[in-house]
Amino acid sequence: MLKVINVVGARPNFMKVAPIVDAMRRRAAEFAPVVVHTGQHYDALMSEAFFRDLGLPRPDVHLEVGSGSHAQQTAAVMQRFEPVVLAEKPDWVLVVGDVNSTLACALVCSKLGVRVAHVEAGLRSRDRTMPEEINRVLTDQIADLLLTPSPDADRNLLAEGVPAERIRLVGNVMIDSLLKNLAVAERSKVREELNVAGRDYAVVTLHRPSNVDDAGVLRGILSALSELAKRMPVVFPIHPRTRKMLAEFGLGGRVESEGGLILTEPLGYLDFLRLYSGARLVLTDSGGIQEETTALGIPCLTLRENTERPVTVELGTNRVVGTDPARIIAEAEAALARPRATDETPRVPLWDGKTADRILDALAASSPR
CA distance 130 to 144: 24
| Residues with catalytic roles | 207
Q: In the structure, what pLDDT confidence band is assigned to residue 55 with cuts at 50, 70 and 90?
A: confident
182-337 folds as Rossmann fold (3.40.50)
pLDDT in tens, 22-38: 999 999 999 999 999 99
pLDDT mean over 288-294: 94
pLDDT at 44 over 60: no
> Which one is predicted more confidently, 67 or 203?
203
pLDDT in tens, 251-266: 888 777 777 899 999 8
- Predicted confidence at residue 345, as pLDDT, reads 53
- Predicted confidence at residue 68, as pLDDT, reads 84
- Label residue 32 left, alpha or beta by phi (over 0 means left) and psi (-120 to 50 means alpha): beta
pLDDT at 41 over 80: no
Q: In the structure, what pLDDT confidence band is assigned to residue 54 with cuts at 50, 70 and 90?
A: confident
Q: In the structure, what pLDDT confidence band is assigned to residue 152 with cuts at 50, 70 and 90?
A: very high
pLDDT mean over 344-356: 81
Alpha carbon of residue 115 to chain centroid:
24
Which of helix, strand or coil describes residue 150?
coil
Phi, psi of 318 (to 5 degrees): -115, 140
Which of helix, strand or coil describes residue 283?
strand
CA angle 70, 175, 29 (to 5 degrees): 90
Residues of each domain in the chain carrying CATH 3.40.50.2000: 2-172+351-365, 182-337
CA distance 107 to 118: 12
pLDDT mean over 47-68: 83
pLDDT in tens, 94-145: 999 999 999 999 999 999 999 999 999 999 999 999 999 999 999 999 999 9
Task: Residues 2-172+351-365: name the CATH superfamily.
Answer: Glycogen Phosphorylase B; (3.40.50.2000)
Global pTM value = 0.92
Rg of the chain over all Cα atoms, to the nearest angstrom: 20
- Predicted confidence at residue 252, as pLDDT, reads 81
Q: In the structure, what pLDDT confidence band is assigned to residue 240 with cuts at 50, 70 and 90?
A: confident
